[in-house]
Amino acid sequence: MEAGEMPAVTLAGDVSMPIVGFGTWQLGGEQAYQAVRQALESGYRHIDTATNYGNEQEVGRALRDTGLARGEVFITTKAPPSAAGREREAITASLNALGVDYVDLWLVHWPPAGRAAPPMWREFLAVRDRGLVRAIGVSNYRTDQIDELIEATGQPPAVNQIPWSPAQHDPGRLADSRDRGVVVEGYSPLKGTHLRDRLLVEIADGHQVTVPQVVLRWHVQHGIPVIPKSANPGRIKENFDLFGFSLSEDEMARIDGLSKE
Protein backbone atom coordinates (compact mmCIF):
# COMPACT_ATOMS: atom_id res chain seq x y z
CA MET A 1 0.00 0.00 0.00
CA GLU A 2 1.30 3.42 -0.91
CA ALA A 3 1.39 5.93 1.93
CA GLY A 4 -0.93 8.20 -0.01
CA GLU A 5 -3.63 5.52 0.11
CA MET A 6 -3.89 5.55 3.90
CA PRO A 7 -7.51 6.17 4.94
CA ALA A 8 -7.97 9.37 6.90
CA VAL A 9 -10.54 11.08 9.06
CA THR A 10 -11.38 14.74 8.59
CA LEU A 11 -11.13 16.92 11.66
CA ALA A 12 -12.70 20.33 12.23
CA GLY A 13 -11.13 22.89 9.92
CA ASP A 14 -10.86 20.33 7.13
CA VAL A 15 -7.70 18.85 8.64
CA SER A 16 -7.01 15.32 7.38
CA MET A 17 -5.58 12.86 9.92
CA PRO A 18 -4.30 9.41 8.80
CA ILE A 19 -6.37 6.80 10.60
CA VAL A 20 -3.33 4.75 11.70
CA GLY A 21 -0.58 6.55 13.57
CA PHE A 22 2.53 5.61 15.50
CA GLY A 23 2.47 6.10 19.27
CA THR A 24 5.65 7.00 21.15
CA TRP A 25 4.66 6.73 24.82
CA GLN A 26 7.49 5.23 26.92
CA LEU A 27 9.95 5.49 24.03
CA GLY A 28 12.94 7.67 24.82
CA GLY A 29 16.37 8.63 23.54
CA GLU A 30 17.91 6.63 20.73
CA GLN A 31 15.17 4.01 20.97
CA ALA A 32 12.55 6.67 20.25
CA TYR A 33 14.55 8.01 17.32
CA GLN A 34 15.04 4.58 15.77
CA ALA A 35 11.41 3.55 16.28
CA VAL A 36 10.00 6.73 14.76
CA ARG A 37 12.42 6.52 11.85
CA GLN A 38 11.43 2.88 11.28
CA ALA A 39 7.76 3.85 11.40
CA LEU A 40 8.20 6.63 8.86
CA GLU A 41 10.25 4.39 6.58
CA SER A 42 7.51 1.72 6.88
CA GLY A 43 4.89 4.15 5.59
CA TYR A 44 3.36 5.73 8.70
CA ARG A 45 2.53 9.38 8.14
CA HIS A 46 1.07 10.14 11.56
CA ILE A 47 3.27 10.36 14.67
CA ASP A 48 1.92 10.92 18.19
CA THR A 49 4.08 12.42 20.94
CA ALA A 50 3.65 14.64 24.01
CA THR A 51 5.61 17.07 26.15
CA ASN A 52 5.49 14.55 29.00
CA TYR A 53 6.99 11.78 26.83
CA GLY A 54 10.28 13.67 26.70
CA ASN A 55 10.96 12.55 23.13
CA GLU A 56 9.81 15.43 20.93
CA GLN A 57 13.42 16.18 19.98
CA GLU A 58 13.97 12.60 18.81
CA VAL A 59 10.69 12.63 16.87
CA GLY A 60 11.75 15.79 15.08
CA ARG A 61 15.22 14.44 14.30
CA ALA A 62 13.76 11.24 12.87
CA LEU A 63 11.41 13.27 10.67
CA ARG A 64 14.26 15.40 9.34
CA ASP A 65 16.57 12.43 8.77
CA THR A 66 14.00 10.58 6.64
CA GLY A 67 13.96 13.53 4.25
CA LEU A 68 10.16 13.67 4.23
CA ALA A 69 8.61 17.08 3.69
CA ARG A 70 6.98 18.54 6.79
CA GLY A 71 3.57 18.54 5.13
CA GLU A 72 3.72 14.81 4.46
CA VAL A 73 3.58 13.83 8.14
CA PHE A 74 0.78 14.50 10.61
CA ILE A 75 2.28 15.33 14.02
CA THR A 76 0.34 15.31 17.29
CA THR A 77 1.76 16.56 20.56
CA LYS A 78 0.14 17.24 23.92
CA ALA A 79 0.46 19.86 26.63
CA PRO A 80 0.54 18.60 30.23
CA PRO A 81 -2.13 19.84 32.63
CA SER A 82 0.62 21.82 34.36
CA ALA A 83 0.78 24.03 31.24
CA ALA A 84 -2.51 25.67 32.25
CA GLY A 85 -1.78 29.40 32.39
CA ARG A 86 1.36 29.12 30.26
CA GLU A 87 -0.02 27.59 27.08
CA ARG A 88 1.98 29.81 24.69
CA GLU A 89 5.19 28.82 26.44
CA ALA A 90 4.26 25.14 26.17
CA ILE A 91 3.56 25.17 22.43
CA THR A 92 6.69 27.21 21.76
CA ALA A 93 8.78 24.64 23.64
CA SER A 94 7.16 21.77 21.71
CA LEU A 95 7.72 23.42 18.35
CA ASN A 96 11.35 24.15 19.22
CA ALA A 97 11.96 20.57 20.38
CA LEU A 98 10.32 19.10 17.28
CA GLY A 99 12.07 21.59 15.01
CA VAL A 100 8.86 22.50 13.17
CA ASP A 101 6.82 25.64 12.60
CA TYR A 102 3.48 24.04 13.50
CA VAL A 103 1.92 20.80 14.68
CA ASP A 104 -1.15 19.27 13.11
CA LEU A 105 -2.92 18.45 16.37
CA TRP A 106 -2.33 19.75 19.89
CA LEU A 107 -4.11 18.13 22.80
CA VAL A 108 -4.71 18.92 26.46
CA HIS A 109 -3.12 15.72 27.78
CA TRP A 110 -5.29 15.34 30.90
CA PRO A 111 -7.99 17.50 32.48
CA PRO A 112 -6.07 19.92 34.74
CA ALA A 113 -6.76 18.98 38.36
CA GLY A 114 -9.46 16.69 36.97
CA ARG A 115 -11.46 19.63 35.62
CA ALA A 116 -12.47 20.70 32.11
CA ALA A 117 -10.53 23.99 32.37
CA PRO A 118 -12.29 26.30 29.86
CA PRO A 119 -9.60 29.02 30.30
CA MET A 120 -6.96 26.59 29.03
CA TRP A 121 -9.23 25.66 26.14
CA ARG A 122 -9.63 29.35 25.21
CA GLU A 123 -5.85 29.65 25.05
CA PHE A 124 -5.71 26.55 22.83
CA LEU A 125 -8.20 28.22 20.49
CA ALA A 126 -6.02 31.35 20.41
CA VAL A 127 -2.90 29.29 19.59
CA ARG A 128 -4.78 27.56 16.78
CA ASP A 129 -5.97 30.89 15.41
CA ARG A 130 -2.35 32.09 15.30
CA GLY A 131 -1.50 29.18 13.00
CA LEU A 132 0.87 27.38 15.36
CA VAL A 133 -1.39 24.30 15.34
CA ARG A 134 -3.87 23.15 12.70
CA ALA A 135 -6.34 21.45 15.03
CA ILE A 136 -6.83 21.20 18.78
CA GLY A 137 -8.35 18.61 21.06
CA VAL A 138 -8.21 16.88 24.39
CA SER A 139 -7.19 13.55 25.85
CA ASN A 140 -8.74 11.57 28.70
CA TYR A 141 -11.79 13.86 28.93
CA ARG A 142 -15.28 12.70 29.88
CA THR A 143 -18.26 13.70 27.73
CA ASP A 144 -19.57 16.09 30.40
CA GLN A 145 -16.19 17.83 30.48
CA ILE A 146 -16.29 18.22 26.70
CA ASP A 147 -19.77 19.70 27.06
CA GLU A 148 -18.37 22.24 29.50
CA LEU A 149 -15.78 23.36 26.92
CA ILE A 150 -18.45 23.62 24.23
CA GLU A 151 -20.75 25.61 26.52
CA ALA A 152 -17.94 28.02 27.41
CA THR A 153 -16.58 28.62 23.90
CA GLY A 154 -18.99 27.20 21.34
CA GLN A 155 -16.17 25.11 19.90
CA PRO A 156 -15.75 21.38 20.54
CA PRO A 157 -12.40 19.64 20.61
CA ALA A 158 -11.58 18.11 17.23
CA VAL A 159 -10.37 14.94 18.98
CA ASN A 160 -10.66 13.17 22.32
CA GLN A 161 -7.81 10.67 22.61
CA ILE A 162 -8.78 7.94 25.07
CA PRO A 163 -7.98 4.27 25.76
CA TRP A 164 -9.85 2.07 23.28
CA SER A 165 -9.90 -1.63 22.51
CA PRO A 166 -12.52 -4.33 21.90
CA ALA A 167 -12.90 -4.80 25.67
CA GLN A 168 -13.38 -1.03 26.14
CA HIS A 169 -15.69 -0.52 23.17
CA ASP A 170 -18.50 1.87 24.13
CA PRO A 171 -20.92 2.53 21.24
CA GLY A 172 -22.86 5.06 23.31
CA ARG A 173 -19.80 7.14 24.08
CA LEU A 174 -18.69 6.91 20.46
CA ALA A 175 -22.09 8.14 19.27
CA ASP A 176 -22.16 10.95 21.85
CA SER A 177 -18.72 12.12 20.70
CA ARG A 178 -19.66 12.05 17.04
CA ASP A 179 -22.88 13.95 17.77
CA ARG A 180 -20.68 16.73 19.16
CA GLY A 181 -18.28 16.68 16.20
CA VAL A 182 -15.52 15.07 18.27
CA VAL A 183 -13.38 12.29 16.78
CA VAL A 184 -12.57 9.51 19.23
CA GLU A 185 -8.92 8.45 18.83
CA GLY A 186 -7.85 5.25 20.54
CA TYR A 187 -4.63 4.74 22.44
CA SER A 188 -3.19 1.59 24.06
CA PRO A 189 -5.29 -0.57 21.70
CA LEU A 190 -3.18 -3.68 22.25
CA LYS A 191 -2.35 -3.13 25.91
CA GLY A 192 -6.09 -3.07 26.57
CA THR A 193 -6.70 -6.35 24.72
CA HIS A 194 -6.43 -9.98 25.81
CA LEU A 195 -4.32 -11.03 22.82
CA ARG A 196 -4.95 -14.74 23.41
CA ASP A 197 -8.71 -14.37 23.37
CA ARG A 198 -10.17 -17.38 21.58
CA LEU A 199 -12.42 -15.33 19.29
CA LEU A 200 -9.62 -12.99 18.23
CA VAL A 201 -7.28 -15.92 17.58
CA GLU A 202 -9.96 -17.65 15.48
CA ILE A 203 -10.58 -14.54 13.38
CA ALA A 204 -6.86 -13.88 12.95
CA ASP A 205 -6.24 -17.45 11.83
CA GLY A 206 -9.10 -17.18 9.33
CA HIS A 207 -7.47 -14.17 7.68
CA GLN A 208 -3.90 -15.45 8.11
CA VAL A 209 -2.95 -12.36 10.09
CA THR A 210 -2.04 -11.72 13.73
CA VAL A 211 -4.37 -10.84 16.59
CA PRO A 212 -2.89 -7.31 16.87
CA GLN A 213 -3.64 -6.79 13.18
CA VAL A 214 -7.25 -7.88 13.74
CA VAL A 215 -7.61 -5.47 16.69
CA LEU A 216 -6.17 -2.56 14.73
CA ARG A 217 -8.23 -3.37 11.64
CA TRP A 218 -11.33 -3.40 13.88
CA HIS A 219 -10.50 0.18 14.93
CA VAL A 220 -10.05 1.24 11.32
CA GLN A 221 -13.38 -0.24 10.22
CA HIS A 222 -15.10 1.58 13.07
CA GLY A 223 -13.54 4.83 11.83
CA ILE A 224 -11.55 5.19 15.06
CA PRO A 225 -8.01 6.55 14.53
CA VAL A 226 -5.55 4.36 16.40
CA ILE A 227 -1.92 4.77 17.48
CA PRO A 228 -0.20 1.45 18.21
CA LYS A 229 3.28 1.62 19.71
CA SER A 230 6.27 -0.70 19.46
CA ALA A 231 10.04 -0.50 19.46
CA ASN A 232 10.32 -3.77 17.51
CA PRO A 233 10.92 -3.13 13.76
CA GLY A 234 8.95 -6.22 12.74
CA ARG A 235 5.96 -5.27 14.85
CA ILE A 236 6.10 -1.65 13.71
CA LYS A 237 5.70 -2.89 10.11
CA GLU A 238 3.08 -5.50 11.06
CA ASN A 239 0.93 -2.92 12.88
CA PHE A 240 0.76 -0.86 9.70
CA ASP A 241 -0.03 -3.80 7.41
CA LEU A 242 -3.79 -3.65 7.85
CA PHE A 243 -5.14 -3.08 4.38
CA GLY A 244 -4.77 -6.46 2.70
CA PHE A 245 -7.79 -7.89 4.51
CA SER A 246 -11.10 -6.75 5.94
CA LEU A 247 -13.38 -8.00 8.69
CA SER A 248 -16.92 -9.08 7.87
CA GLU A 249 -19.94 -7.46 9.53
CA ASP A 250 -20.36 -10.60 11.60
CA GLU A 251 -16.73 -10.56 12.72
CA MET A 252 -17.00 -6.89 13.65
CA ALA A 253 -20.14 -7.56 15.69
CA ARG A 254 -18.56 -10.51 17.48
CA ILE A 255 -15.50 -8.42 18.37
CA ASP A 256 -17.80 -5.62 19.57
CA GLY A 257 -19.37 -8.20 21.87
CA LEU A 258 -16.10 -8.63 23.78
CA SER A 259 -16.92 -5.40 25.63
CA LYS A 260 -19.89 -7.14 27.25
CA GLU A 261 -17.97 -10.13 28.57
Q: Tell which phi-psi region holds residue 147, choosing left (phi > 0), alpha (psi between -120 and 50) or beta.
A: alpha
Q: What DSSP letter does each residue of 178-214 carry, written as one string?
A: HHTT-EEEEESTTTTS-TT-HHHHHHHHHHTS-HHHH
Which amino acid is residue 182, in one-letter code? Answer: V
Helices (H) and strands (E) counted in the chain, each on its own, are 10, 9
For residues 126 and 152, give the distance between their C-alpha atoms in angstroms, rounded to a whole number. 14
Q: Which of 5, 182, 1 is nearest to 105 (CA)?
A: 182
Candidate list 33, 44, 53, 141, residue with the active-site label: 53
What values do phi and psi take at 224, rounded to 5?
-105, 110
For residues 107 and 182, give the distance between their C-alpha atoms in angstroms, rounded to a whole number. 13
| Helix or strand holding residue 16 (H, E) | strand 15-18
CB 61 within 8 A of CB 99: yes
- Is-catalytic flag, 53? yes
Q: Which residues are catalytic?
A: 53
